[in-house]
Each structure stands twice: as C-alpha cells, then as structure tokens.
A and B are shown apart, each in its own frame.
Chain A
Amino acid sequence: MTSDLAATSVDVDRPDGAPPAGRRPGWRAAVRWESGLVLVLVAVLLFGSAESSTFLSPSTFFYLGTNTGYVAIMALPLMFIVMTGEIDLSVASMLGLSGATVGFLWHHGWPIWPAFAVALIVGALGGALNGVLVAKAGLPSIAVTIGTLTLFRGLAEILLGSLTVPAPGDRLLPASLTKIGVVPVPGTQLSYSMLIFLVLAVGFGVVLHRTPLGRSLVAIGLQPEAARFVGIRVNRIKLRLYILSGVLCAFAGILLTLQNASVSYNAGTGLELNVIAIVLFGGVSIFGGRGTIPGVVLAVAIVGALQMALTQMNVDPNVQNIVTGALLLLSVVVPSGGEAVRRARARLRRPAPGS
C-alpha cells in the first residue's frame, strides 16, 4: 500500500491476475486506508468534544497517553510480525510476566534497575522461545503463541501468586519512576509511555519504509518462497522479530508497573486482543505484506480517543468492547467488500469479449 513494491506485487500475488495496466496511479492506493483513518479520527474528535465538555482538554490527552501508550508500544513489533504473515498472541502475557518478574525481584529486595534488566532478559528469552518454535521448528505461530500466552501468564502466576507488589511491608517503588503515571513529560501534555511510543514509531517507520530490511518484511509477507530465493533470510528475520517483540512487551510491562506503582500477576490480561485490533485497524493485512506505520499510529490515536470519549460519557468499559469489535470488523470488511464488488464487476464484464 505504501511502497511501489507493495503496490505492484499485490497484483502479481492476486490469483485472478487483474491487468496491471488497469490500475489507478500508485499514490491513490497508498493514501486510501490511511486517509480514511484520518477522517475517522476527525469524526471521533468531533464526537468526543460534542458529547463531553472536558474531552478536548490537556488532561484528557495525558490520560489517553497513559492508557494507550504501553498498548501501542506492543503494537509496533506485532505489526512487523503480522507483516511477515505470522502472529504473536503472547504479547499481553509477556507484559504480565515482565511485570511479575520486576515485582518478584523487588519483593525479594532487589534494587529496581537490575530487576528491570532481568525483566528485559526474560522478554528476550520468551520471544526467542516463540521465534525458535515458529521460525526454526516450523510450527504454526497461532498455536505456538496461544501456548506461550498460557505459559507466560502461568509463569507470572507462579512468581507472584496472589501477591500484589509492593505488598504490606515492602518498599514502595521509587517515586522518581512511578511519577510517569501521574505527570506528563515536562513542557508537554504527553505521557512518558506515549512519548516512547512515538519515538519508537519513528524508528520502526524508518526501518519499514526506508530500509532494505523493511522491504524484506513486505516481500516475506507477500511471497515467502520468492523472498527466500532472492536471498532474504526469512527464518532469521522472523526469529529476531519475535525476540524484539518479547523485549518490547517486557518493556511495556515495566512501564505499566511504574504507571500503576504496583503489579500483580494478571496485569494486562486479555490485552492481546486490543493490540491485534490496533494493528489490523491500522491497515496491516492479516495475510502479511501490507501495512504502514502512519496507519498504525492513526489507529492508536483513534482507539485511544474513542476510549477516552466513551469513558467520559460513562459508558461501561465492557460495553466499549462493541466499538473495538466494530472497528476490527470494519478493518477487514471494508477492503474485502471492495474486493467482492470488484469480483462481481469482473464477472459481469468477462462474457463480453468472449462472445
């Protein structure tokens, strides 16, 4: 969708072999989904400000950041994984395991920074486990990561049990760090987690849209066989993406622990679905090979803003699920609906030259 490579190879990939000559100019295809997202974002902002007088205030923006930032950080590596045609359902469990690791070590008297380091290493190891099973052993990523989803959450449960850290008698987490949950970055209304997400997003965007590695991801997603034949180390890239995902999810777990100033084993349970919803709503194709960073950033903004608006309207968080689900549904139904119409039109046109 973004790059010429993606735009042209989609046609090659399409089994019905629509003639490339009939295609619209590349830039129209490139802006279609993302420009739709911009319109949705504007609509959400208008809706929010109409429904709640406090919606367009700096504090709303800050809370949007704290509520969405750590989720958005997990969406970035997942986006790359989905682009290669795989999936990682274990992200939220890794977040929980990382938080539990920090909590466990803190409870046993460790200083905070070494505890963070161990949590990140746990993230890398967990990601490597996913990666080895998917890329080296060739197991289906959906089954592997459902397994590690359960496994990581289970390990978190073993570490902390029913304990909430800091437990009575424990030291409090350092206030100089837990302040990221209550004060924005000085001089702005950005939460720290949102700022980190934006910085990471720029980095991911440069890699995806401006480097050979980014092109490789697109190629792997569109044609894994062909990608291997042109010398792309498909399995090595996938393995490294899973490790990256593990590390960043562990990092998100640390952020969440600090924001809440406490942690229990079930932090972030079920969040994997939100992360996937953001990635897919951002226009990343579940079949791999398509996706843009601006799309994912817009999806983060939309999901976050909608959540804030509905919360300020006192809509039950469980009922808000309907909106998340509807966005997810839209993200596949709209493109496929277009595809279905095109199929029907092609069927109407085909008999003419034949007769």
Chain B
Amino acid sequence: MSVQTQAGPPVGGAQASRLMGLLRAREAGIALLIVLVVAITGLNNHAFLDAQSLQQLLTGAALIALLGVGETLVLVTRNVDLSVGSVVGLSAYVVGDLFKNEHIPVWSGFALGILLGAVVGALNGLIVTVLRVPSLVITLAMLYIIRGVDSMIVNGHTIDPSAIPSAFTAVGYRTILGVPWLAVIVAVVVAIAGYAMRSFRSSRELYAIGSNPDAAGLAGVPIGRRVFTAFVLSGALAGLAGTLFLALHAQVDNSGGSGYELTVISAVVVGGVAIFGGSGTVVGAALGALLLNTISQALVASRVSAFWNEAIAGALLLAAIGFDRWLSLRVTRSLTSARGAHRDV
C-alpha cells in the first residue's frame, strides 16, 4: 500500500514484496489486535459480545475515525491539523442553532456543516501555503480562535434534543442490518479516501510531498495547491464530524469536540501514519481509532476502572511509534544491504 512512497533506491522483487508485507502487516496487525481484545474481553464478560455492545464499539470510534481520515491527508504532506476538535464543536453548534432557529431541512444541516468546516480548512491551508509558516502553530492558533468564536456564538446556551429534527438524530442511533448508520457513513468515506489515496495521481503526490518536499517540487508537484486541498478536505471532514456529533449526542454546548485533536492524532499514529509525513493509510488510521475505542470499552467491560483509559492510550501511542522506528530501521538496513548487492555488479 504505502510501500510506493518509501523513498529509496529500486529494490529487488523479493525485497519489495517483503517490505510490502511488513507494511501491510500494520493494518492486519491492528485488526488482529482488535479481534484479540474483543475476544479476550468477551470470554470474561459475555455481554461484551452483544450486538448492542459491538455496535457501541463502532459508533464510539466513528467520529475519531472520520477525523482520522482528514488528519491522515494532512499528516502525509508533513503538516498537521490541530484545529479539528474546535471545528467539530463549531459546526455541531452552528448546525444545531440553525435547526433550532431557522428550521432548516436535514440535508442542508449536513451541507452547511461540511461547508463551514471546509471554509476553516481553506483558511488554514491559505495561511500555511501562502505565508509558508508551520502548520503546527497556525492550526494551534486556529484551535483557540475557533473555540473562542464558538463560545461567542454559544453564549452560554445549549442545543437540546427537542430542538433537533428526529430524522436528523436518527442518523445517530439507527442501524442498517445491525450496523449503525454512523459506522456506514464513516466506512464509505474511508473506502473512498482509501481508494483515492492509493490510486489517484494527485493523492500519490501528497505522499511525495511528505517524503521529500524539495524533490516533489522539482518533479513538478504543485505543492501549495495539494497541501491546500488536504487542509480543505480535513476541515470539511471535521465539519461533517461535527454534524454527526450533533446527530449522535443530540445536544451540544461550547465544549463539543474539545480535546479531539490529540485523540485523533494518537489514533492515526497508532494506525501507522508517520508524523513526519510520507507514509500511512486512511484504513490504518480508521483501524487505529477503532482499536483505541475498543480498548477503552473493553476496560469498562472488564470492570477495570475507566481511570486507566488514558494511561493505556498514551502507552499504546508510545509503543506504536517505537515499533514504527524499529520497523523503519529494519527496512533501511534491508534496503542498504540490497543496494550493496546491486553495487557489486
């Protein structure tokens, strides 16, 4: 999957497939880990395997997985978007407010949420690409500014369930063939983004930018435009996530989505997306989100105090980046030995 993005000399077929195996193992490894956690917890507590409990695993991970898709697009270009949590809060409240006071139709709630997020993303993208300033600082500033603007709009009010059309909140709890709508929506987004990131030229260029910006520029990749697009998409997905947040919780105040940015980055990095760009897949990111949520729910089901949740999430993130480092050292070593062999000729 992401093997094409590995900067390096051409390698022999056997070597390449081994590499491919190692990297593909990441998604498979996480999936296996999820199954293991579910199975072990289920052995001790059969209620954990109930349909409702399994649905809860998917629903609880859905928003983070959705944000993870956008974050992956930005991270592979060697940037970061810290403003997503604030965008979730803003779009959730604004859409709720429009439902309450303007009685807009359900579909336009989604459209406006996405649009709002895209506007913020465009702002992030413009500042980062035109002024060439580090996205870490810009999106951190936007995290603050948007949360502040959100609080101004909220002004101490809350949106409560009675103000929201029931057709809208249905998205938050209805299921299709036992699968929550939320999970279906996110799965569709992940599938589209996953296909695009693997097959479209413009998306492959995102990886090129992240692997080596200078080389990508020399190769004719329109860096500014691509990075800008990544930010717009990340913002739009955060806007969508905000709308879904409202559908899921049916209420929101000025703290909706706060702190999501760090959870998303943890999930994405656990899912194998490199923080310095150039590699990682949206499927991995979504699985990372699912793993984090599965572990936290498993703790609850095993009657381990929920207080352990955060510590375990943090330790998992450290383990994931440590593992990535070990993997990349191994890959580098195998590449250098392969190169050495070719040089003998």
Chain B residues positioned under 8 Å from A137 (CB to CB):
322, 325
Is the C-beta of B307 less than 8 angstroms from some C-beta in chain A?
Answer: yes
Contacts known (A157-B311, A325-B145); A140 close to B130, Cβ less than 8 A: no
Say which one of B19-27, B226-234, B258-266 lies at the interface with A: B258-266
Please pick, from A147, A161, A287, A316, the residue contacting B321 in the complex, using a CB distance under 8 A. A147
Contacts known (A147-B266, A276-B140, A280-B137); A321 close to B325, Cβ less than 8 A: no
Q: Is A133 within 8 A of B127, CB to CB?
A: no
Q: Is B137 within 8 A of A139, CB to CB?
A: no
What is the interface of chain B mostly: helix, strand, loop, or mixed?
helix
Is the C-beta of B223 less than 8 angstroms from some C-beta in chain A?
Answer: no
Contacts known (A146-B262, A316-B151, A326-B145); A152 close to B314, Cβ less than 8 A: yes
CB under 8 Å from chain A, chain B span 45-92: 80
Q: Is B321 within 8 A of A144, CB to CB?
A: yes
Q: Is A332 within 8 A of B133, CB to CB?
A: yes
Is the C-beta of A167 less than 8 angstroms from some C-beta in chain B?
Answer: no
Please pick, from B142, B310, B315, the residue contacting A153 in the complex, using a CB distance under 8 A. B310
Q: Is A319 within 8 A of B275, CB to CB?
A: no
Chain A residues positioned under 8 Å from B313 (CB to CB):
150, 154
Task: Give the tally of cross-chain contacts (CB within 8 A).
Answer: 150
Please pick, from B144, B275, B314, B317, the residue contacting A324 in the complex, using a CB distance under 8 A. B144
Is the C-beta of B12 less than 8 angstroms from some C-beta in chain A?
Answer: no
Q: Is B137 within 8 A of A332, CB to CB?
A: yes
In this complex, what residue of A is CB-closest to B155?
A316
Please pick, from B137, B156, B259, B311, the residue contacting A328 in the complex, using a CB distance under 8 A. B137
Q: Is B132 within 8 A of A318, CB to CB?
A: no
Nearest chain A CB to B267 CB, angstrom units = 11
Please pick, from A138, A153, A273, A318, the residue contacting B143 in the complex, using a CB distance under 8 A. A273
Chain B residues positioned under 8 Å from A152 (CB to CB):
314
Residue from B80, B127, B138, B318 with most neighbouring chain A CB atoms (10 Å): B318
CB under 8 Å from chain A, chain B span 255-277: 258-259, 262, 265-266, 269, 275-276
Nearest chain A CB to B231 CB, angstrom units = 15
Chain A residues positioned under 8 Å from B133 (CB to CB):
332-333, 336
Nearest chain B CB to A348 CB, angstrom units = 18
In this complex, what residue of B is CB-closest to A153?
B310
Q: Is A151 within 8 A of B311, CB to CB?
A: yes
CB under 8 Å from chain A, chain B span 310-339: 310-315, 317-318, 321-322, 325
Q: Is B275 within 8 A of A140, CB to CB?
A: yes
Q: Is B318 within 8 A of A148, CB to CB?
A: yes
Interface size class for chain A? 35 or more
Count of chain B residues near A, Cβ 8 A: 48
Please pick, from A147, A148, A316, A329, the residue contacting B141 in the complex, using a CB distance under 8 A. A329
Chain B residues positioned under 8 Å from A286 (CB to CB):
134, 136-137
Is the C-beta of A58 less than 8 angstroms from some C-beta in chain B?
Answer: no
Digitize A118-153: 1 where CB-to-B-CB distance is under 8 Å, 0 elsewhere: 000000000000000100011110111011111111
CB under 8 Å from chain A, chain B span 147-165: 147-152, 156
Digitize A253-277: 1 where CB-to-B-CB distance is under 8 Å, 0 elsewhere: 0000000000001000010010011
Q: Is B275 within 8 A of A147, CB to CB?
A: no
Is the C-beta of A320 less than 8 angstroms from some C-beta in chain B?
Answer: yes
Contacts known (A154-B311, A332-B137, A340-B130); A325 close to B143, Cβ less than 8 A: yes
In this complex, what residue of A is CB-closest to B269?
A143
A277 to B148, CA, bound (A): 15
A191 to B85, CA, bound (A): 35
Is the C-beta of A226 less than 8 angstroms from some C-beta in chain B?
Answer: no
Is the C-beta of B254 less than 8 angstroms from some C-beta in chain A?
Answer: yes
Q: Is A154 within 8 A of B312, CB to CB?
A: yes
Q: Is A321 within 8 A of B151, CB to CB?
A: yes
Q: List 29 A-B contacts (CB under 8 A).
A: A133-B322, A144-B321, A146-B265, A147-B266, A147-B317, A150-B262, A150-B311, A150-B313, A151-B310, A152-B314, A154-B307, A154-B308, A154-B309, A154-B313, A157-B310, A273-B140, A286-B134, A286-B137, A318-B254, A321-B147, A322-B148, A324-B144, A325-B144, A325-B148, A328-B144, A329-B141, A332-B141, A333-B133, A339-B132
